[in-house]
Amino acid sequence: MQADDRTGPPEGGLPGRLLKAPENFIDAAGVRTVFAEAKQGRRDFIRRAFASAVGAGAAGGAVVAQAQSNPVPTEGGDPNILELPEHSRNLGQGVASEGYGKPSKYESNVQRRPSPGLTQTTQSSVSFAPLQSLFGIVTPSGLHFERHHQGWWDVDPSKHRLMVNGSDEKMVKTPKVFTLDEIMRLPAVSRFHFIECGANSGMEWGNVAVPTVQYSHGMLSCSEFTGVPLKIVLDLCGVDYKRGRYVLAEGADGSSMTRTIPMEMIESGEVLLAYGQNGEMLRPENGYPLRLVVPGVQGVSWVKYLRRIEVGDAPYAAKDEAVHYIDLMPGGLHRQYTSIQECKSVVTTPSGGQVLLDKGFYNISGLAWSGRGRVAKVDVSVDGGRNWRPARIEGPVQTKALTRFNIDWVWDGRPAIIQSRATDETGYVQPSYKQLRAVRGKRSIYHNNAIQSWLVQESGEVKNVQLS
Amino acid sequence: MFSSREWTGLRSAALALAGLTLGAAVWAQAIPKEGGAALAGIGRPATAKEIAAWDIDVRPDFKGLPKGSGSVAQGMDVWEGKCAQCHGIFGESNEVFSPLVGGTTADDVKTGKVARLLDEAYPGRTTLMKVASISTLWDYIHRAMPWNAPKSLKVDEVYAVTAYLLNMGGVLPDNFVLSDRTMAEAQARLPNRNGMTLDHGMWPGKSLKTGGKPELRPDVKAVACMKDCEAEPKVGSFLPDFARNAHGNLAEQNRIVGAQHGVDTTRPAGAAPAPVVAAAPAAKAVEAGGSAAVMPLLQKNACMACHGVDNKIVGPAYRDVAKKYSGRADAVAYLTGKIKAGGSGVWGAVPMPAQALPEADARLIAQWLADGAKK
- H or E element in which residue A177 lies: strand A176-179
Indicate whether A274 and A398 sit together in one domain.
no
- DSSP secondary-structure letter at A346? E
Q: Is the pLDDT of residue A229 over 90?
A: yes
Is the residue at B143 inside a domain? Answer: yes
| Range(s) of the domain holding residue B349 | 289-370
Q: Is the pLDDT of residue A46 over 80?
A: no
Give the gap in angstroms from C-alpha A429 to the nearest C-alpha of chain B.
5
Terminus-to-terminus CA distance in chain A, angstroms? Answer: 22
Q: Is the pLDDT of residue A273 over 70?
A: yes
| Range(s) of the domain holding residue A221 | 125-335
From B187, B211, B226, the end of a domain falls on: B187
In angstroms, the CA A267 to CA B9 distance is 17
- H or E element in which residue A39 lies: helix A28-40
- Of the candidates B155, B161, B186, B188, the one whose C-alpha atom is nearest the C-alpha of residue B173 is B186
pLDDT bucket at B292, cuts 50 / 70 / 90: confident
In angstroms, the CA B98 to CA B83 distance is 13
Chain B's closest residue to A178, CA to CA, is B43
Average pLDDT over every residue of B315-333: 84
From A316, A335, A354, the end of a domain falls on: A335
The least confident of A5-19, A275-289, B141-155 is: A5-19
Best-predicted range by mean pLDDT (A29-43, A60-74, A107-121, B317-331): A107-121
Indicate whether A400 and A304 sit together in one domain.
no
Beta bridge partners of A368: A345, A403
By Cβ distance, the residue of A231, A353, A387 closest to B228 is A387
The reported pLDDT for the residue numbered B16 is: 39
Whether the CA torsion B66, B71, B77, B83 is positive or negative: it is: positive
Residues of B in contact with A254 (CB under 8 A): 144, 147, 150-151
Please judge whether A258 and B143 are an interchain contact, meaning their C-beta atoms are less than 8 angstroms apart: yes
Q: pLDDT tens-digit profile of A367-383?
A: 999 999 999 999 999 99
Is the residue at A196 inside a domain? Answer: yes
Is the residue at A96 inside a domain? Answer: no
- Of the candidates B239, B207, B220, the one whose C-alpha atom is nearest the C-alpha of residue A441 is B220
Contact indicator for B58, A250 with CB cutoff of 8 Å: no
Is the residue at A93 inside a domain? Answer: no
- The CATH number of residue A186's host domain is 3.90.420.10
By Cβ distance, the residue of A23, A212, A329 closest to B250 is A212
Beta bridge partners of A195: A221
Indicate whether B139 and B97 sit together in one domain.
yes
Indicate whether A331 and A374 sit together in one domain.
no
In angstroms, the CA A47 to CA A39 distance is 13
Indicate whether B30 and B73 sit together in one domain.
no
Beta bridge partners of A356: B260
From B135, B165, B187, the end of a domain falls on: B187
Indicate whether A162 and A258 sit together in one domain.
yes
Indicate whether A12 and A142 sit together in one domain.
no
Q: Is the pLDDT of residue A460 over 70?
A: yes
Average pLDDT over every residue of B316-339: 84
Indicate whether A319 and A375 sit together in one domain.
no
Indicate whether A258 and A298 sit together in one domain.
yes
The reported pLDDT for the residue numbered B64 is: 97
Q: pLDDT tens-digit profile of B193-225?
A: 999 999 999 999 999 999 999 999 999 999 999
From A31, A63, A82, the end of a domain falls on: A82
Average pLDDT over every residue of A111-125: 88
Best-predicted range by mean pLDDT (A93-102, A371-380, B252-261): A371-380
Mutate to test the interface with B, among A215, A329, A333 (most CBs of B within 10 A): A333
- Of the candidates A24, A197, A131, the one whose C-alpha atom is nearest the C-alpha of residue A454 is A131
The reported pLDDT for the residue numbered B302 is: 76
Please judge whether B224 and A307 are an interchain contact, meaning their C-beta atoms are less than 8 angstroms apart: no
Q: Is the pLDDT of residue B284 over 70?
A: no
Is the residue at A112 inside a domain? Answer: no
* Residue B264 at interface with chain A, using a CB cutoff of 8 Å: yes
Is the residue at B56 inside a domain? Answer: no
Q: How many CB atoms lie within 10 A of CB B177?
A: 17
Is the residue at A94 inside a domain? Answer: no
Terminus-to-terminus CA distance in chain B, angstroms? Answer: 55
By Cβ distance, the residue of A133, A177, A377 closest to B254 is A133
Q: Is the pLDDT of residue A161 over 80?
A: yes
Q: Is the pLDDT of residue A436 over 80?
A: yes
Contacts for A177 with CB less than 8 Å, ≥ 6 apart: A161, A162, A163, B43, B44, B45, B46, B50
**Number of domains composing chain B:** 3
- Of the candidates B126, B125, B134, the one whose C-alpha atom is nearest the C-alpha of residue B190 is B134
Residues of B in contact with A356 (CB under 8 A): 259-260
**Number of domains composing chain A:** 3
Indicate whether B129 and B183 sit together in one domain.
yes
Is the residue at A105 inside a domain? Answer: no
- The CATH number of residue B302's host domain is 1.10.760.10
Dihedrals phi, psi of B267, to nearest 5 degrees: -115, 155
* Residue B130 at interface with chain A, using a CB cutoff of 8 Å: yes
Is the residue at A69 inside a domain? Answer: yes
The reported pLDDT for the residue numbered B272 is: 61
Residues of B in contact with A386 (CB under 8 A): 228-230, 232-233
Q: Is the pLDDT of residue B283 over 80?
A: no
